[in-house]
Amino acid sequence: MIIEAKGVTKTFGGFTALQGVDFQLGPRERVGLIGPNGSGKSTFVNCLTGALPATAGTVAFDGQDITQMAAWKRARLGLSRSFQIPRPFKGMTVRQNIEIPLSFVGGRGAGAETEAEANAILAQVGLAARSDARPRSLSQVELRKLELGRALAARPRVLIADEAMAGLSDPEVDEILDLLIRLNGEGIAILLIEHIMRAVMRFSERIVVLVAGQKIADGDPAEVMAHPEVVRAYLGE
């Protein structure tokens, strides 16, 4: 397994946001993580990436215990994420927005090699023609592609895509889906957190469901979506 989480628990004072969550992600696998609002999805992702420390449980990356590891060190190992709300550097060009994380991960400054790698990533996400543009001139779907490009600059083995399609039109959702599936085909394992169920069903080889901080289902997408507890969580009694 490239990621293996065991018994991940997160409490905030007297509130338990996650309770004993087990999770696995295999190399090159595509997994969807779903659940109603407030189910603990974002908290779980933050525990995986190191943005939040787990109260209990362990997280391993490619067999290495990273439970106590800082987020930036996890990123350098190859665990990267995109965020639901893109926050590019507004005063920089699209290419410079890719060069910054490239320099961080590679430990080198700006130069021809960094610029060439940034251009390759922009081509990978379909933004080559926009490399000299400023983020304020990008459309919503282009901003999402830039956000994914910034995550790719970490040269990830695992990409966590957090609500990468929220607010997009159906054709734009398909654009991002096609991009994620292509990146997976290039060898990146992807965990997709998404509310758009048609996207989750098309993308996922496996679906994991969180409800009230607990994992209630994990398996084949069609079987998971027919699970009585999942139906109850989404539709009520």
> Any idea of the CA torsion for 73, 79, 85, 89, to the nearest 10 degrees?
50
Give pLDDT tens digits for 63-90.
999 999 999 999 999 999 998 888 899 9
Q: Specify if 42 maps to a domain.
A: yes
For the chain, the distance separating the N- and C-terminal CA atoms, rounded to the nearest angstrom, is: 36
- Asked if the structure places residue 37 within a domain, the reply is yes
**Which CATH number belongs to the domain containing residue 16 in this structure?**
3.40.50.300
pTM for the model: 0.93
pLDDT at 106: 64
| Beta carbons within 8 Å of 115's beta carbon, 6+ residues apart | 95, 99
Number of domains in the chain: 2
Residues 168 and 233 both lie in one domain: yes
**Is residue 4 located within the same domain as residue 67?**
yes
| Rounded average pLDDT over 45-51 | 96
Grade residue 236 by pLDDT with cuts at 50, 70 and 90: low
Question: Are residues 135 and 119 both part of a single domain?
Answer: yes
Mark whether 71 and 165 lie in a shared domain: yes
Q: Is the Cβ–Cβ distance between 230 and 217 less than 8 Å?
A: yes
Flag whether 183 is in a domain: no
Contacts (Cβ under 8 Å, ≥6 apart) of 62: 2, 77, 78, 157
- CA angle 66/68/72 to nearest 5° reads 70
Same-domain pairing of 21 and 40: yes
> Is residue 166 located within the same domain as residue 133?
no
124: containing domain: 79-155
Co-location of 142 and 164 in the same domain:
no
Do residues 59 and 173 share a domain?
yes
Judge contact between 105 and 75, C-beta under 8 A.
yes
173-230 per-position pLDDT tens digit: 999 999 999 999 999 999 999 999 999 999 999 999 999 999 999 999 999 999 998 8
pLDDT the model gives residue 237: 52
Tell me, rounded to whole angstroms, the distance of Cα 41 from its chain centroid.
11
Q: Are residues 41 and 90 in the same domain?
A: no
CB 103 within 8 A of CB 110: yes
